[in-house]
Amino acid sequence: MLKVTDLNVFYGPIHALKGISLEVNDGEIVTLIGSNGAGKSTTLNTITGLVKAASGSIQLDGTEIANMAPHKIVQLGISLSPEGREVFPALTVEENLRLGAFTRSSKGEIEANYQRAYDLFPRLKERIKQTAGTLSGGEQQMLAIGRALMSSPKILLLDEPSMGLAPNLVLMIFDLIRSINQQGTTILLIEQNANMALSIANRAYVLETGNISLSGDAHELARDDRVRRAYLGG
């Protein structure tokens, strides 16, 4: 579905992604783990068009999308729930969700997507008229994911969905990610919480200072000594 080949990204003189390649197949959950500053967010931001690629290819179902405008990439079926949630604080929950469906024009589809968001996150339904800035961190995360799903994406990119959440909420968010996937949305997940990410993913890539150092089956990587030492606390 999504195929990244030899992607290079620079921030001024800093070589942030050094020719990385990765692939996400239809129906999979793939996770990209790595420490702070390894280039995880940069990878997602380049896929969504927010950051310009210096060279390399990004293909969605065979269509080249590298360096397309972000709004066109959303239209093609890639949606990002960004790091730090980035909900619109002064807009209501409903308006935030409506914005997620900005590229959709079918009333029926938008209605169905609202329903799906409210089924996944009943808390959002209770707070429909509340402004997003007044929600708790966990609720804002739910809103960010719900909002990203409103565009009926083929592939959902999640940037650190567990960041700053209490442990019970982390479990809940990961359960929900799994059910979103089971409902048919392909997922590329970025996490510092490598334990949780590897436990729900099919496959994983390890990113180290702009290079992919390891990749493979998520459960095998979770048993790999190098991964355990570096990311799983022994």
Partner 1 sequence: MVTFLGATINGLVLGMAYALIAVGYSLVFGILRLINFAHGSIYVFGAYMVYLFVSLQVGLFPSILLAILLAGLLALLVDKITLEPLRKKNSMLISDLITTVGVSFIIQNVLSVEKVFGSERKVFPSLNLFSNITIGHITIQSSQIIMFVVALLLLLVLTFIVNKTKIGLSMRATEQNSRAAKLMGINVNFVISFTFFLGGASAAIAGALICGYYQVISPTMGSLIGLKAFAAAVVGGIGILHGSVVGGLVVGVCECLAAQYLGSNVRDPMAFVILIIILIIKPNGLFGKKGITKV
Chain residues binding partner 1 by CB under 8 A are 48-50, 69-71, 74-75, 79-80, 82, 86-91, 95, 98-100, 102-103, 133, 147-148, 151
Strands 203-208, 29-33: pairing kind: parallel
Cβ closest to partner 1, residue 101 vs residue 196: 101
Q: What is the closest distance, in whole angstroms, from the C-beta atom of residue 73 to partner 1 in the complex?
A: 8
Three-class DSSP category at 107: helix
Q: How far is CA 13 from CA 18, 21, 54, 94, in A?
A: 13, 21, 12, 42
Cβ closest to partner 1, residue 114 vs residue 231: 114
Residue 216 near residue 32, CB atoms below 8 Å: no
Tokens of 51: 């950051």
Cβ closest to partner 1, residue 150 vs residue 227: 150
Q: CA-CA distance, 154 to 35, in Å (whole number)? A: 27
Q: CA-CA distance, 185 to 1, in Å (whole number)? A: 11
If 0-12 CB within 10 Å is exposed, 13-18 middle and 19+ buried, where does residue 40 land? buried
Q: What is the closest distance, in whole angstroms, from the C-beta atom of residue 158 to partner 1 in the complex?
A: 13
Cβ closest to partner 1, residue 148 vs residue 221: 148
Cβ closest to partner 1, residue 185 vs residue 203: 185
Q: What is the closest distance, in whole angstroms, from the C-beta atom of residue 88 to partner 1 in the complex?
A: 5
Strands 14-24, 2-11: pairing kind: antiparallel
Q: What is the closest distance, in whole angstroms, from the C-beta atom of residue 65 to partner 1 in the complex?
A: 14
Non-local CB neighbours of 44 within 8 Å, separated by 6+ positions? 80, 82, 157, 159, 188, 190
Cβ closest to partner 1, residue 102 vs residue 118: 102
Residue 88 near residue 96, CB atoms below 8 Å: yes
Q: What is the closest distance, in whole angstroms, from the C-beta atom of residue 78 to partner 1 in the complex?
A: 10
Residue 24 near residue 30, CB atoms below 8 Å: yes
Q: What is the closest distance, in whole angstroms, from the C-beta atom of residue 124 to partner 1 in the complex?
A: 17
Cβ closest to partner 1, residue 48 vs residue 194: 48
Q: What is the closest distance, in whole angstroms, from the C-beta atom of residue 215 to partner 1 in the complex?
A: 27
